Amino acid sequence: MKIACAAPAEMEHYIEELTEQLLYDLLPQYVSDERLQHIHNHYLLGHHDESNPLYNGLLDEALQVISSLQTVIALVESIQHRPIEKSDRDRFSKNVRILSKFGFIFPLSIELFERENLLVSYSQASSQTEYYH
């Protein structure tokens, strides 16, 4: 007999916070509103297949999902300031595979997040800020 521990509610909430950070803070910097809506409608980073749940809310699963989400976010934020390296691609792919193992869909490649693909640059943001003040 195997005993499994359920993830605490705080961990489940933290998973939601991390997915929201990706969906609402990072992705809008790289994807048009139309594409973002399409991504959102297709359950990006959601585990919505209730007929075959891959994520059961167990402690070890939650830890893997959290660490993978944190790694993906850290990679996306770090490549905003430098070119993508092979090690970045490898870590990104590994963590996306871990997420998909638990039913968290992330169908985007790391190349989407290259700094050349930023929709709003810092110079545009600062000029918009000056315009409104």
Residue pair 7/62 in contact (Cβ under 8 Å)? The answer is: yes
Joined together, the tokens standing for residue 107 give 């169908």
* Residue 49 confidence (pLDDT): 52
Interacting residues of 114 by C-beta distance below 8 A, sequence separation 6+: 79, 83, 84
pTM over 0.85: no
Higher pLDDT, 95 or 126: 95
* Residue 18 confidence (pLDDT): 94
Q: Which residues of 28-45 are buried (b: 16+ CB within 10 A; e: fewer)?
A: eebbeeeebeebeeeebb
What average pLDDT does the segment 67-85 reach? 94
Alpha helices in the chain (DSSP H): 9-20, 33-41, 59-78, 86-101, 122-132
∠ at Cα 105 (84, 107), nearest 5°? 45
Residue 3: pLDDT band (50, 70, 90) is: confident
* Residue 130 confidence (pLDDT): 41
What average pLDDT does the segment 44-67 reach? 76
